[in-house]
Structure 1
């Protein structure tokens, strides 16, 4: 843990002038995952605190507060192309960045973090001098080192090291050919490891992630600052006008990502159907046709009681939470655990695995079971489904815990205090120093 202080505990320190902050995200739409959610809410909380915020993002672009300026940094956006092979135009051949992004996609790699870094480093060399600080959101690209060398202070958020995702994907691979494809896709991790070790200032969002970044990426703990994420408690709140369905279980999962542990929840559902014939599961995520989850639904004969929804608004998500009797977070690993926090903010009782940082978010306001243990999950669900009083108590405790410890206003204030330490800006009071326990697809280094 860096000597700049531990902002996970205690109030932030008041400071002086507003800052000019540049946030970076290589793909930032909130429906793409937690990284887009992080950028949306952090930028909003920073402008509400009186700072000037620009967001530089590749496609798909973020949804931002009107007070936040979006600077579009388009790439080829090949994952939206119907035929990526034909997406390369003559003008792209004049750009190494464009050509490399196209070639990596065709050969099974993921080059967007690397190519985004090249583009943004070039942009900031020309137009970035007015910023006080540049804050990257998990791209961990070589371009950050170039930006830092140019004299701009750089902070990078690592939500969790994606080595965990890679290992789980390798473990789930059916044969050696698929494992080769997985290794090719995740080859950008070599870049991320190198950059994370060389950056001076790294932020992470949980104690679990801090430990994993040090272990998996080899980052010195003195470089890492712990600042928890926030939850928008104005949007994610109880909806007393919506009737709860006690036998509706809800979860958020990318259906065929092994990391999310959906298969263990499906096995638990199958165990409980005999006792609770009206049990239903609502999955916020897209079902991949012909994928492993669809096959498992058929094997367990759950097609009639499992519904998938995707592309929904925040308000629709809140309404779904309000209708659920229980929310389950069965992930094998989470760097923070945003779905658990959102459900708790909505006053819904939560059963969570102990994967990654989930216990840090849930605390004593939910039920924790071992990750990957469908029988333990089934027992916890059985006990909670028949206990109206416990469900009500957990819902109230969850809402109180999130409102007290995980607001975006608190997260933004801690980050601003950290920014000022990094850039050496004056402070009214010193920050207390508290100890916390505890060429491939990524490209060449030159940006």
Structure 2
């Protein structure tokens, strides 16, 4: 065998020898397997970071919006609060080692430099304000050494969130009560008065008789029920406007005559005191009292009073209540004319028929702004409920809160 042949045989044997192939393949594939494992770990980390970052942004935006509306925080204070929420959420959500000052510092630095917080403030109707908090933030996820074998060092996660809130918006109103104090208002309701052991229980049959004596049990009169109902209405105003800055009320009563009114004044104390002094007597004539209420609300001085104190033009209401019917048709005509004028001028009219006959009900239905502004009360509970609803509806105009 020549040397040339011997050399060719050695090469062929070397190429044909499969010994050591596994080691070679392992050396080639192992880095890829390790890199794949690193990618799997980092993918989990990316998903967790994205979720945590979005949750942190949402929480921060909500916290800032709430602080602006409910805690009277300034924009600067709200932004600082939002930033604190972001840092705390990220450090906690990603389990940043509190003992590692470097890790925590790096996380805080990323949030500080990668976050933009914008607060937009808008004036609302009344004296309220609405706020919109926009947060845009980013966080860099650094890959582990195994993933970096593939040439990728890190990736950036982004999150955005928006939250809105508003402060309480107070809106001014003026209300005038037009209340029937005719003799029938002395008649009893079906409600027992447990504060008294006996009293004169006036009814349609015995009204005005000098022979009527006190009996037991004692029943609440329609006038007593009216006083409770008015108190229920005014309670809603006290809750909505405790400082008496936005609500003005007045009241006038009538039988066959129209009596001196309680002039429009801030709050409801004077009007309630006026109602509590009413004594039932006489017939029914609503025309003059309705005209007085309308004129008082329409007067330029009423708008000026609000403009001076709260800077607003008030919403205006008339609450008209009767338990009977006018003695003369001319009062129906003048009352309806006043209701038409008031509605034309933008006033809302609520009417309450309290155990009233058909004629009285028809007048009140025609006077009311619409069907939802008319109430029929056949007993004391229904009367109190009607006035409470009126109070709730109108006080809702005074106080509006958006969260």
Same fold at TM > 0.5:
no
> Which of structures 1 and 2 has the larger relative contact order (alpha carbons within 8 angstroms, sep 6+)?
1
Look at both structures and tell me which one has the larger radius of gyration over its CA atoms: 2
TM-score of the pair, normalised by structure 1: 0.28
Higher helix share: 2
